[in-house]
Structure 1
C-alpha cells in the first residue's frame, strides 16, 4: 500500500519513516513539507543517507489522492483539519497525529487550542485511536484521531480500575513527566540546552491541551463526568513519559489483586505490559518501543493506589501507535512493523 506523510521534517514524521521503512505491506511514496519542499529528506536527516531517497514536495490534495491510499498527518495542531475533509471525500484514509479530531466539544477545543474546531460532520466520523479500547471502531475508520502522548500513558494506567469501579473517580491526581522531544523540533527557549540541562520544571498547569482529552475519554468510559488534576513536567532527557497517578481506592485491596485486574484487562493487548508486584517500570525500559509498561502499588496505610505508567512519547505516544492503528484499519496483525525490542541501555 502506498502512503504519504504530511509534515515530513518533525520527530513524529521521522519515527513514522523508521517504522514504515521495514513494514512488509507499506511503501512511503510521498513526504510532504511546505517549509522544505524540493529538499531531499536525507539533507534534513543525514542518518537516512543512502537509506531513504525521497524529495519532499508541497501539498496538492487532488494529486495526492490519486497517488496514495492512506495519509499520516504529522503536523502541528490546527493544520490537518483544513485538509483531511477533502482527502476523506476522495476516498483516502487519514491518520492524524495532532489534536484536531480528538475532542468532540467545539467550545472546549476553542478554549484549549485557540481556534475553531474542525467541521462537526468530520469530527463525528473520527475514531479515537486507542487500540486497547477501540479496536472494532478503528477497523472501520476513515479518519483516525491518534491519541496524545500524555493521554495514552495516563488513560492506559487508569482504565482497568475505572471500569471495574474500584476507585473514587473524583480523586484522580496525575503527576506526569516528559522528555524534551515532546516539544517538537522547532526552536524554543523552554528546551534550550542552557535552560533545560540540570533542570526540571512544571509547565502549563491547568491549561495543557491534553487535559480535556484525558477527561473526555475517562468520562466516556466511566459513564459519569470526570475531572482530573494534571501537572505536566519537562525533564532533561530526550524521550519518554512517566505518568504517576494517585487515586483513592473505594475498598481495601491488595497490590496482587489489582495486578490481576490489570493483567486480565490487557490480556489481549500485545503492547501493554503489567509488572509483577514489587517492580516499577522506568522510561528506559520502553525506549524506542511501542510498549506501555504499568506498575502498581496499593498503599494500605493511606487507602490510595499509586499507578506508574511509562511510554516512549514518540512511539506509543505518537508514531508507533499510528502504525498500530494503520495495521488494525487494514486488517493486518497490529504488531506488524512495530514489534521491536526496547533499546537498552
Structure 2
C-alpha cells in the first residue's frame, strides 16, 4: 500500500491512501480532528513541551527532532502528527509499520520526501528488522546506503534524503528496539483522558457537527468513552443518529442515555467484549487467575487485541489486575456485574 501525503492547508497531493476508507467517513473523521496545537484538548504537559520544541525549531529554521508518541489507540497520536505538520507549515506523509515490509518500500518513500516534511509511521514497532536498520541512517545522517543486485555484480548506492521529521506512534513501546528508540529526540506517553477533558472533546465535536447538546448529555457520553477521544467522537455520532431518528435532533441527557443503552455501552463505558471478559473471570473462574491465552479462547477474541485494546482500560478502571499467574477480577468487577465476590477477592487477597 502506498503512503499518502497530506498538506498543512488540508489539500491532498497526488498519491493513493494507505487505508481504504469511505470518502465521506474519512472526511468526517478529519473534520473532528483539531488542526492546531491550541485546539488540541488534553495532554497539557505534552502540549506545553511541543510548543517549545516547535517554536525553537521554527526560530532556528530547522526541522524538529524526531518524535515518538506511545499510548493506547485513540488518544490523538495521529492527530498530533498532522498538527505538527500544520504548525511547521509543511506536508505530512502517512504510512504504517506493517505497510513497509521491504527495504524498497522505505527507500522509495524516503526518496519522495520533500525537505522539511513530516513522515508519520503508525505502529512503528511492527517494522521488519531490515527496514528498521535502513531507517537508522535516514534518521541520523539523512542518507541511506542501498545494495543493488546480488553476488559479484552487487553494488552499493548512497541515497541522500531531504531533512525531515519522523513522528512514530506505537501502542506497545516495549516492542520497539533500543537502537530505534534512542534515535528519537523526544519521547512521550499519552495518558487516558479525564471526564472533564472528554466533555470538552464532545462539545467541540458537537459544534463541528452542528448538533445541539446539553452539558449533562455531553457528560454522559464522556463517562462512557473509555478515556478515549476517538470513542467519544464515535459515540457522539451514534447518539446524533438516534436523536435525528427518535427525537428532534437535539441531545439531552435522557435521550443520550437511551441511545447509549441501545448501542450497548454501559455506565463505565464497557462494551460486550469487556463485559464478557469480566464474566469469564468472575463466573467461570471465580477466585482463580486466568492466563491470557485461556481468556482469549473463552471470549473468542485475539490475545493481542485483548492485551492491547481491552485489558489496559479494565486495569485503569480497577476492574482486573495482572498477577504472575494470570488475570484476576477485583472486588469492583463483582460489584459491577451484581455478583457476590469470593472471600479471597472481597478481602483484597489477590495473588
The TM-score, its normalising length taken from structure 1, stands at 0.28
Instruction: Name the one with the larger helix percent.
Output: 2
TM-score by length of 2: 0.28
The higher radius of gyration belongs to 2
Where relative contact order (Cα < 8 A, 6+ residues apart) is larger, the structure is: 1
